[in-house]
Chain A
Amino acid sequence: MADYSMMIGGAAGQGVQTVSETLSTILTRSGYYVFSIESYESRIRGGHTFTLLRVGEKQLLGARRSLDVLVCLNEETYERHIHKVHPKGIVFGKVKDQLRGEDIRVFSMDFEGEALQLGNKIFANMVATGAVLAILGIPLQKAQEYLQEAFGKKGTEIVAKNEEALKRGAEIVANFGLEGKYPLPPYDPTPRYLVSGNEALGLGALLAGCTFYSAYPMTPSTGILNFLASRAQEYGLVIEQAEDEIAAINMAIGASYAGARAMTGTSGGGFCLMCEGLGLAAMTETPIVVVDAQRPGPSTGLPTRTAQGDLLFVIHASHDEFPRFVFAPKDPEEAVNTVIRAFNLAEKYQVPAIILSDQYLADTKWSYDVFSVQERPERPLLPNKVPKPYKRYALFPDGVSPRLFPGDEHLVVADSDEHDEFGHLTENLLIRKAMQEKRMKKLELMRQEMRFPFFIPGKDATLLGWGSTWGVLLETRRELQKKGKEIGILHFSDLYPLPRGLQELLAGLPTPVVVEHNFTGQLAMLLSRETLLAFPKRICRYDGLPFLVEELTEKVEEVLST
């Protein structure tokens, strides 16, 4: 079955992302499945950036290390990645030593030179795109349609030049006799969706009925801001770039108090600044949704890399204790549903809901045959009669008081100080005790809303993971299956509060191995705390890069052999 991995690398500013964007779209529209991950640096020009693009006939859930095609927009790409190309692979572009003594075939192609002949070196990336399409035997027709869409606004001349560049790339490949070298099966006309994590989180917010989004730019969360801003005009959204993350979360809280569904998004550093605001949402029982798109830290860390280091942080963030939801969607499809659910649950229990994303989920594009959105925005019903005079924090048995908005006949008083049922500040310690119990009471009800982890049994071992690693865990399981091992998976998207009944499940798992993008194994610690079981086998990657299928497979084999 056709399944190829390709890498396109170059310096920032050389248009690697355009190649990736163009190829992913065209390949998806041509009926194939794509999985593309972006690796970039925190700079606008220079440095090294690449896209890892996998294309195949069946749905792909992760990226592979070993490359079939390496496209070098600069020589550095060649030097850095040539060792990843497997025997019989093809390398082209700015290459160094053309004779490798192995089966790898290396072709020198001067993309920039070709582009210059067309009038401008910016067309170099389209020459490369044409070359890749030719190697895969994809006719250029779909590509031409896409160019019209993507560059139409810039004028017919630009579209024509890009088309020429595509053709030029394809011609060169034909001259080398490489056309259709990695053939894909005939065209399947099923339309497919191609969605990244950030787009999905933005789409989820839009569908959830979020009409207020405030944020301070911070990679890798900025794509959510961009997505929602692109829809603001059409759907009447209030989108505000705040002066800092403190303002961003306080704005979201203000908007929610006033009746809007409000969200903010950031990365770890910005989340640190939001902690006091998170407590404010909890204390005033104002529902908000906060996305933390994780990146390695501490401090500024690695802005453009991936990590899962904030799990225990967000569960505990802000002083004293209060209930909150924490979710970590496994892929873009689940991300859309998770955001809608997070809004519904945050409102139902009047608590903050946190969604953990990461650079890997945020920037990776997945393709789907069916993109299923099952969740619907729901506003919780008010009791038939709200007792008068209105008490914002009325002590109802379940801890959830009727929530009204200002502007109607009732007065709505919310307070960050400890307060009485009306919302007025108090230092009466009996009331304090009752209020803390009221808030904390919700936690057990919230727990009942949480879904059980996704589970596939396997007798040889079980891989435990959370959030964005789901796909690569599944791919790794398949890989090990080929080697005769039966590996199970237990994957968590609902992380806090954890659902009940985990103890029995976890106690019976054969050889649990926790796989995480952090140093200490935070899921393992969380589960140990919850179940009093120990999870000593851990595979932790914290260099900022996502797990790739072969690497994780090797690591699992290694762990199981010790």
Chain B
Amino acid sequence: MTRDFDNPQVEIAWCPGCGNFGILRALKETLEELGYKPQQVVLVSGIGQAAKTPHYLKANVFNGLHGRSIPVAFAIKATRPELCVIAESGDGCMYGEGGNHFLHAIRRNPDITVLVHNNQVYGLTKGQASPTSEEGFTTKAQPWGNLAHPLNPLSLAISQGASFVARAFAGDIEGLKGILKRAITFRGFALVDILQPCVTFNRVNTYSWYQERVYYLGDDHNPHDQIAAFERSLEWGNRIPLGVFYMNPKPTYEEKIRERTLRQRNVFDTEVFTTILQKELSRFL
């Protein structure tokens, strides 16, 4: 049966067994279960394996440049706040090439969802270290082992008071869907870092590697406590927590400019044009 968000027209170019398949399925089902129509959704991505995802759904798509999905998503939402806007890309795209945009989107707090397929590697360019690769991770470009310390996107986002911060695992579709639902319906900037096995280029962080470690945050975790959320975000090793770490509801960018954007007028109307022209010219006398 084809569902609303299925797009059988486009051939999927991922490796068999790739963690992206789980994310794709979870996203399609989540959007449908939330009652969205493809027309109401805009998926914005950068470049990479993860960034191809929007093509494999039926929705509005803006597949932009490597690292630049967030500014595009921000502007679409600012211009058309009624649309559901999701930025989706890989760890290299979001945290590496686009790291600056990630930081500043947290500050602006647009009501967009940011999904990061975090496979801790550069998939599309054939296996170089990414910002989240572990220290010592060896690749053709880093034969001596990755010398840099991995970025902790959750700690970073929580420390900056991001409005919604979560981690999910592509190997648990139901768990992932639950988190996606909360992220997409949350009003404000929502980050979901999704642990995504890359079966071809990451032989360290495999399905079983994740499965042995991941567990869900329990009721004892208060997602409104920034310090507690930060502490839990530092946990990485034998045990890796999943779930919603932090929620910090606050006015969104679109809400802040709403009063102003309501004043927009039909810019192609001749009368409107003439009124503005006369008013503005008189200011230069």
A424 within 8 A of B: yes
Interface centre among B64, B80, B276, B280 (most CB of A within 10 A): B64
With A206-B276, A237-B260, A247-B104 as given contacts, are A252 and B75 in contact (CB-CB < 8 Å)? yes
A454 within 8 A of B: no
A523 within 8 A of B: no
Nearest to B56 among chain A residues (CB) is: A424
Within residues 226 to 285 of chain B, which ones have a CB less than 8 A from any CB in chain A? 257, 260-265, 267-268, 270, 273, 276-277, 280-281, 284-285
Map CB proximity to B onto A22-39 as digits: 1 under 8 Å, 0 otherwise.
000000010000000000
Asked whether, in the complex, the Cβ of B74 is within 8 Å of the Cβ of A251, the reply is yes
Looking at the complex, which one of A233, A255, A376, A417 makes contact with B79 (CB distance below 8 Å)? Answer: A255
Stretch of B39-47, B154-162, B170-178 with 4 or more beta carbons under 8 angstroms from chain A:
B39-47
Taking CB atoms, residues of chain B closer than 8 Å to A407 are 39-40, 60, 80, 82-83
Taking CB atoms, residues of chain B closer than 8 Å to A373 are 277, 281
Map CB proximity to B onto A208-245 as digits: 1 under 8 Å, 0 otherwise.
11011010000000000000000011111110101110
Taking CB atoms, residues of chain A closer than 8 Å to B200 are none
A203 within 8 A of B: yes
Nearest to A373 among chain B residues (CB) is: B277
CA distance A252 to B72 in the complex (A): 8
CA distance A376 to B268 in the complex (A): 8
CA distance A244 to B101 in the complex (A): 9
Within residues 518 to 558 of chain A, which ones have a CB less than 8 A from any CB in chain B? none
With A411-B60, A413-B60 as given contacts, are A262 and B285 in contact (CB-CB < 8 Å)? no
B68 within 8 A of A: yes
Looking at the complex, which one of A192, A211, A412, A425 makes contact with B52 (CB distance below 8 Å)? Answer: A425
Stretch of A110-118, A276-284, A503-511 with 4 or more beta carbons under 8 angstroms from chain B:
A276-284
B167 within 8 A of A: no
Asked whether, in the complex, the Cβ of A203 is within 8 Å of the Cβ of B280, the reply is yes
Asked whether, in the complex, the Cβ of A253 is within 8 Å of the Cβ of B64, the reply is yes
Stretch of A90-98, A193-201, A304-312, A481-489 with 4 or more beta carbons under 8 angstroms from chain B:
A193-201
A185 within 8 A of B: no
CA distance A238 to B58 in the complex (A): 29
CA distance A453 to B17 in the complex (A): 62
Count of interface residues, chain B, beta-carbon cutoff 8 Å: 52
A145 within 8 A of B: no
Asked whether, in the complex, the Cβ of B101 is within 8 Å of the Cβ of A211, the reply is no
Nearest to A191 among chain B residues (CB) is: B285
Taking CB atoms, residues of chain B closer than 8 Å to A276 are 65
Question: What is the CB-to-nearest-CB distance from B94 to chain A, in angstroms, rounded to a whole number?
Answer: 14
Nearest to A233 among chain B residues (CB) is: B260
Taking CB atoms, residues of chain A closer than 8 Å to B198 are none
Taking CB atoms, residues of chain A closer than 8 Å to B64 are 250, 253-254, 280, 284, 416
Asked whether, in the complex, the Cβ of A236 is within 8 Å of the Cβ of B75, the reply is no
A371 within 8 A of B: yes
Asked whether, in the complex, the Cβ of B60 is within 8 Å of the Cβ of A236, the reply is no
Taking CB atoms, residues of chain B closer than 8 Å to A253 are 64, 72, 75
Asked whether, in the complex, the Cβ of A194 is within 8 Å of the Cβ of B40, the reply is no
With A232-B260, A408-B39 as given contacts, are A207 and B280 in contact (CB-CB < 8 Å)? yes
Q: How large is the interface on A (under 10, 10 to 19, 20 to 34, 35 or more residues)?
A: 35 or more
Asked whether, in the complex, the Cβ of B284 is within 8 Å of the Cβ of A212, the reply is no
With A193-B284, A214-B75, A247-B71 as given contacts, are A406 and B60 in contact (CB-CB < 8 Å)? yes
Asked whether, in the complex, the Cβ of A240 is within 8 Å of the Cβ of B60, the reply is no
Within residues 413 to 433 of chain A, which ones have a CB less than 8 A from any CB in chain B? 413-417, 422-425
Taking CB atoms, residues of chain B closer than 8 Å to A246 are 68, 71
Taking CB atoms, residues of chain B closer than 8 Å to A211 are 79, 264, 267
Looking at the complex, which one of B9, B44, B63 makes contact with A425 (CB distance below 8 Å)? Answer: B63
Question: What is the CB-to-nearest-CB distance from A458 to chain B, in angstroms, rounded to a whole number?
Answer: 33
A409 within 8 A of B: yes
CA distance A203 to B277 in the complex (A): 9
Asked whether, in the complex, the Cβ of B265 is within 8 Å of the Cβ of A424, the reply is no
B127 within 8 A of A: no
Asked whether, in the complex, the Cβ of A251 is within 8 Å of the Cβ of B80, the reply is no
Asked whether, in the complex, the Cβ of B265 is within 8 Å of the Cβ of A235, the reply is yes
Question: What is the CB-to-nearest-CB distance from B5 to chain A, in angstroms, rounded to a whole number?
Answer: 11
A259 within 8 A of B: yes
CA distance A276 to B97 in the complex (A): 13
Looking at the complex, which one of A258, A379, A422 makes contact with B80 (CB distance below 8 Å)? Answer: A258
Taking CB atoms, residues of chain A closer than 8 Å to B270 are 376
Asked whether, in the complex, the Cβ of A195 is within 8 Å of the Cβ of B284, the reply is yes
A261 within 8 A of B: yes
CA distance A238 to B264 in the complex (A): 10
Asked whether, in the complex, the Cβ of B273 is within 8 Å of the Cβ of A377, the reply is yes
Nearest to A276 among chain B residues (CB) is: B65
Looking at the complex, which one of A237, A247, A412 makes contact with B60 (CB distance below 8 Å)? Answer: A412
Asked whether, in the complex, the Cβ of B71 is within 8 Å of the Cβ of A251, the reply is yes
With A407-B82, A414-B62 as given contacts, are A192 and B285 in contact (CB-CB < 8 Å)? yes
B78 within 8 A of A: yes
CA distance A379 to B266 in the complex (A): 11
B59 within 8 A of A: yes
A302 within 8 A of B: no
Map CB proximity to B onto A357-392 as digits: 1 under 8 Å, 0 otherwise.
000000000000001010011110000000000000
Looking at the complex, which one of A234, A254, A422 makes contact with B73 (CB distance below 8 Å)? Answer: A254
Nearest to A238 among chain B residues (CB) is: B78
Taking CB atoms, residues of chain B closer than 8 Å to A238 are 78-79, 257, 260-261
Map CB proximity to B onto A110-131 as digits: 1 under 8 Å, 0 otherwise.
0000000000000000000000
Asked whether, in the complex, the Cβ of B264 is within 8 Å of the Cβ of A235, the reply is yes
Nearest to B279 among chain A residues (CB) is: A234
Within residues 70 to 129 of chain B, which ones have a CB less than 8 A from any CB in chain A? 70-76, 78-80, 82-83, 100-101, 103-104
Taking CB atoms, residues of chain A closer than 8 Å to B70 are 247
CA distance A457 to B55 in the complex (A): 57
CA distance A243 to B107 in the complex (A): 11
Taking CB atoms, residues of chain B closer than 8 Å to A423 are 61
Asked whether, in the complex, the Cβ of A207 is within 8 Å of the Cβ of B101, the reply is no
Looking at the complex, which one of B79, B103, B273 makes contact with A259 (CB distance below 8 Å)? Answer: B79
Taking CB atoms, residues of chain B closer than 8 Å to A416 are 47, 63-65
Can you list 14 A-B pairs with a CB-CB distance of less than 8 A?
Answer: A203-B280, A232-B260, A234-B263, A237-B264, A238-B78, A238-B79, A238-B261, A243-B103, A254-B64, A254-B71, A258-B42, A284-B64, A410-B39, A416-B47
4 more CB-based (< 8 A) A-B contacts, given A199-B284, A236-B262 = A250-B72, A254-B62, A258-B76, A406-B76
> Residues of B with Cβ closer than 8 Å to A?
9-10, 38-40, 42, 44, 47, 52, 55, 58-65, 68, 70-76, 78-80, 82-83, 100-101, 103-104, 257, 260-265, 267-268, 270, 273, 276-277, 280-281, 284-285
Q: Which 5 A-B pairs have the closest CB atoms?
A: A209-B267, A254-B75, A236-B263, A254-B72, A406-B60
> Residues of A with Cβ closer than 8 Å to B?
29, 191-195, 199, 203, 206-209, 211-212, 214, 232-238, 240, 242-244, 246-248, 250-255, 257-262, 276-277, 280, 284, 371, 373, 376-379, 405-417, 422-425
